[in-house]
């Protein structure tokens, strides 16, 4: 690899006040788009395109990549503080982030989220570097057959997230899967459970479902219980900078987990078609699975914040790979970035490796720097954010409910989603009230369509023989291992995990 080229690119950024200024503007803008539910990075890039239109390629690309790569850093904030996910991939952060806030550890949770996001972003960029030579075979190894089995593997994680009752977890998970079938059947065009309502043709909106299952029940129970989000007697030390630094420290204390989930995230990001929602839930499941004390999850385990947050930032580095070198975007956000790159005069495709590596290095450095800058910026404001968890419920609830309804509307620009929000939040409330686990619902809803769609494709392409493909056998082995591991854990040691996973 051309070392001088790599460091020249760094110098291009750091040595130019103009480029650094662009980074400093892009980072808070990106985090803003992440933190407001329903906006998201895709819309951010679309709205930024007119501003970068006149810029030269390096500056424009740097601005866009910096903005796009820190969206999920911002998205973690409302997930942790109010149980309102800023973006879909930040939803998994709620499961342990919100209980941490309730335990008076909002500062620590925010610190862990920022640290994890920053580390994830940097590892994602390094992953991009490392995989460059093997890119083509690795990406092309994933066909619909492997997608199907990967989704199936993800669905087995429901068992890990079921807490004290596997039956309850499975029931909720199956209910999520059932909701995933509400849409126009992609194979036949027949309406499934849409009741002649057009907004259901594209399926149940995930952001709306997550808001209904997590955010609204939290607000109801906060209203009923009174007090503030943090259910501790007095303001603890943990909302100050000390808590934030403790959270950042946690990321490095669990360094094995952080690095693993960052790599899984980058890997999933690299394969077009799976998406960030799947990445963060699979990593969350992995954190529970690999923990020695899985019963702590859902009660405010810091690892439950670290895993999804490393993954949703590292996937950006991963998904940049196929976007740049195949001109095949790794995610819908990347598809828009791709269009913007072309507009700036960058021509993605295999030819880029020969002619445009300097711009690739700039993008990699931009990705890393933006993630680091995002962490530094957030450390400054984290204590005041953490203080929000001590605001009285009756002041907080109206604001959060407004955000929730806004998010449900904006995510699909359909008022009907607000009605759906109300209906599903009844379900969410009772699940919470009777301590049924809620994460399986979201897993079913997210992975159901991937499983269905790729199963159809794999069957159409190869028939049942798709299970015999080498990649498919590996994924199948992983799934079996995951189930056996779960059973072994039930049988050996403790009789069963004692705690609920109701979150």
Partner 1 sequence: MRKMITALLALVLVAACTQESGEESDFYAGKNISYIVATNAGGGYDTYARLIAGYLQKYLPVDNVIIRNVPGAGHIVGANTLWRSKPDGLTIGTFNAGLIYGQLVGSDGFDFDLRDFAWVGKASGEPRSIVVSDNCAIKSMADLIAAEEPVKFGSAGVGSASHSDTMLLASALDLNVDIISGFTGTEGEMSMMRGELCAILGSTSSFKNFIDAGYGHFILSIGGDMEGVPHARDFAKTETSRRLVSIIDALARLGRISAAPPQTPDDRLETLRAAYRASLEDPELLAEAEKIGIPIDPAYGDDVRQLVVDALDQTPETVELIRKAINGGGQ
Tell me the closest approach of the beta carbon of residue 273 to partner 1, in angstroms: 5
Q: For residue 156, which phi and psi values (nearest 5 degrees)?
A: -65, -20
Segment holding 192, helix H or strand E: strand 191-192
Kindly list the distances between the CA atom of residue 35 and the CA atoms of 351, 358, 360, 364, in Å, as whole numbers in the listed order. 37, 32, 28, 24
For partner 1, the binding residue among 335, 357, 381, 478 (CB under 8 A) is 335
Which residue number, 10 or 43, has a Cβ lying nearer to partner 1?
A: 43
Q: Which part of the chain contacts partner 1 (CB under 8 A), choosing from 37-45, 109-117, 366-374, 436-444?
A: 37-45
For partner 1, the binding residue among 178, 343, 465, 491 (CB under 8 A) is 343
For partner 1, the binding residue among 155, 396, 414, 431 (CB under 8 A) is 414
Q: Which part of the chain contacts partner 1 (CB under 8 A), choosing from 77-85, 88-96, 182-190, 302-310?
A: 182-190
For partner 1, the binding residue among 51, 130, 185, 399 (CB under 8 A) is 185
Tell me the closest approach of the beta carbon of residue 110 to partner 1, in angstroms: 29
306 within 8 A of 254, measured Cβ to Cβ = yes
Which residue number, 35 or 336, has a Cβ lying nearer to partner 1?
A: 336
Identify the residue whose tokens are 């994830």.
Answer: 120
Residues in 239-268 at the binding interface with partner 1, rule: CB under 8 A:
none
Tell me the closest approach of the beta carbon of residue 352 to partner 1, in angstroms: 9
Burial group, residue 353, by CB count within 10 angstroms (0-12, 13-18, 19+)? middle
From 277, 276, 353, select the one nearest 318 (Cα to Cα).
276
Which residue number, 180 or 385, has a Cβ lying nearer to partner 1?
A: 180
For partner 1, the binding residue among 72, 108, 168, 412 (CB under 8 A) is 412
Tell me the closest approach of the beta carbon of residue 69 to partner 1, in angstroms: 17
Q: Is 53 in the site for partner 1 (CB under 8 A)?
A: yes
Tell me the closest approach of the beta carbon of residue 3 to partner 1, in angstroms: 27
For partner 1, the binding residue among 21, 24, 133, 202 (CB under 8 A) is 202
Q: Nearest 10 degrees: CA dihedral of 211, 29, 305, 85?
A: 0
Tell me the closest approach of the beta carbon of residue 339 to partner 1, in angstroms: 7
For partner 1, the binding residue among 187, 221, 237, 355 (CB under 8 A) is 187
Segment holding 156, helix H or strand E: helix 144-160
Q: Which part of the chain contacts partner 1 (CB under 8 A), choosing from 64-72, 184-192, 242-250, 284-292?
A: 184-192
Applying CB under 8 A, the site for partner 1 has a residue count of 53
DSSP string covering 329-344: -SSHHHHHHHHHHHHT
Tokens of 306: 């670290």
Tell me the closest approach of the beta carbon of residue 351 to partner 1, in angstroms: 7
Q: Which part of the chain contacts partner 1 (CB under 8 A), choosing from 8-16, 77-85, 140-148, 291-299?
A: 140-148
From 433, 442, 41, select the one nearest 205 (Cα to Cα).
442
Where are the extended beta strands (E) located within 36-187?
183-184
79 within 8 A of 211, measured Cβ to Cβ = no
Q: What angle do CA 311, 315, 317 make, to 5 degrees?
A: 130
Identify the residue whose tokens are 């997210």.
Answer: 446
Q: For residue 56, which phi and psi values (nearest 5 degrees)?
A: -80, 165
Q: Is 186 in the site for partner 1 (CB under 8 A)?
A: yes
Rounded CA gap, 159 and 163, in Å? 8
Which residue number, 460 or 465, has a Cβ lying nearer to partner 1?
A: 460
Q: Nearest 10 degrees: CA dihedral of 350, 355, 361, 364?
A: -30
Q: Is 232 in the site for partner 1 (CB under 8 A)?
A: no
Which residue number, 352 or 382, has a Cβ lying nearer to partner 1?
A: 352
State the SS3 of 370-412: HHHHHHHHHHHHHHHHHHHHHCEHHHHHHHHHHHHHHHHHHHH
Residues in 273-312 at the binding interface with partner 1, rule: CB under 8 A:
273
For partner 1, the binding residue among 351, 398, 470, 477 (CB under 8 A) is 351
For partner 1, the binding residue among 17, 134, 167, 196 (CB under 8 A) is 196
Q: Which part of the chain contacts partner 1 (CB under 8 A), choosing from 98-106, 190-198, 208-216, 291-299?
A: 190-198
From 162, 178, 222, 249, select the one nearest 439 (Cα to Cα).
162
Residues in 439-458 at the binding interface with partner 1, rule: CB under 8 A:
453-454, 456-457
Tokens of 223: 């209203």
Which residue number, 48 or 95, has a Cβ lying nearer to partner 1?
A: 48
Rounded CA gap, 433 and 220, in Å? 10
Q: Is 336 in the site for partner 1 (CB under 8 A)?
A: yes
Hey, what long-range contacts does 252-258 have (CB within 8 A, 24 or more apart)?
A: 252/115, 254/302, 254/303, 254/306, 257/287, 257/290, 257/303, 257/306, 257/307, 258/116, 258/119, 258/120, 258/306, 258/310
Q: Is 42 in the site for partner 1 (CB under 8 A)?
A: yes
Which residue number, 305 or 447, has a Cβ lying nearer to partner 1?
A: 447
Which residue number, 136 or 392, has a Cβ lying nearer to partner 1?
A: 136
Which residue number, 43 or 166, has a Cβ lying nearer to partner 1?
A: 43
Q: List contacts with partner 1 (CB under 8 A).
A: 42-43, 45-47, 49-50, 53, 139-140, 143-144, 184-191, 196, 198-199, 201-202, 272-273, 322, 326-329, 332, 335-336, 338-339, 342-343, 347-351, 412-414, 453-454, 456-457, 460-461
């Amino acid at each position: 690899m051309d070392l001088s080229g790599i460091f020249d690119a760094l110098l291009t950024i750091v040595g130019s006040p103009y480029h650094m200024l662009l980074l400093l503007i892009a980072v808070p803008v990106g985090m803003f788009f992440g933190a407001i539910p329903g906006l998201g990075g895709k819309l951010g890039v679309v709205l930024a395109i007119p501003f970068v239109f006149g810029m030269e390629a390096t500056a424009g690309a740097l601005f866009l990549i910096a903005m796009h790569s820190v969206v999920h850093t911002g998205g973690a904030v409302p997930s942790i503080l109010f149980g309102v996910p800023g973006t879909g991939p930040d939803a998994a952060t709620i499961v342990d982030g919100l209980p941490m806030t309730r335990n008076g550890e909002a500062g620590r949770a925010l610190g862990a989220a920022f640290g994890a996001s920053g580390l994830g972003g940097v590892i994602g960029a390094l992953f991009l570097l490392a995989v460059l030579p093997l890119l083509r075979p690795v990406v092309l190894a994933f066909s619909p057959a492997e997608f199907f089995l990967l989704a199936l593997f993800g669905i087995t994680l429901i068992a890990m997230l079921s807490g004290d009752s596997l039956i309850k977890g499975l029931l909720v998970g199956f209910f999520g899967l059932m909701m995933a079938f509400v849409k126009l059947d992609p194979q036949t065009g027949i309406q499934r459970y849409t009741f002649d309502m057009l907004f259901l043709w594209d399926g149940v909106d995930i952001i709306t479902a997550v808001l209904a299952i997590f955010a609204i029940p939290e607000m109801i129970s906060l209203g009923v219980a009174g007090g503030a989000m943090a259910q501790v007697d007095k303001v603890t030390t943990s909302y100050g900078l000390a808590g934030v630094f403790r959270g950042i420290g946690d990321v490095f204390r669990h360094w094995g987990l952080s690095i693993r989930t960052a790599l899984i995230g980058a890997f999933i990001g690299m394969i077009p078609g799976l998406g960030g929602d799947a990445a963060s839930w699979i990593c969350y499941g992995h954190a529970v699975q690999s923990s020695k004390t899985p019963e702590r999850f859902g009660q405010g385990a810091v690892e439950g914040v670290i895993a999804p947050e490393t993954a949703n930032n590292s996937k950006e580095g991963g998904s940049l790979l196929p976007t740049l070198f195949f001109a095949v975007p790794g995610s819908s956000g990347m598809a828009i970035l791709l269009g913007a790159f072309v507009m700036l005069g960058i021509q993605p495709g295999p030819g880029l490796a020969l002619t445009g590596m300097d711009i690739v290095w700039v993008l990699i450095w931009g990705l890393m720097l933006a993630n680091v800058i995002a962490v530094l910026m957030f450390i400054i404001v984290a204590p005041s954010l953490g203080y929000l968890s001590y605001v009285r419920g009756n002041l907080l609830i109206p604001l959060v409910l407004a955000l929730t309804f806004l998010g449900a509307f904006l995510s699909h620009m359909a008022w009907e989603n607000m009605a759906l929000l109300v209906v599903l939040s009844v379900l969410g409330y009772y699940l919470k009230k009777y301590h049924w686990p809620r994460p399986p619902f979201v897993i079913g809803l997210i992975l159901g369509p991937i499983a269905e769609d790729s199963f159809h494709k794999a069957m159409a392409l190869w028939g049942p023989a798709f299970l015999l493909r080498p990649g498919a056998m590996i994924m199948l082995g992983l799934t079996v291992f995951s189930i056996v591991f779960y059973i072994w854990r039930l049988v050996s040691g403790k009789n069963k995990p004692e705690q609920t996973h109701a979150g």
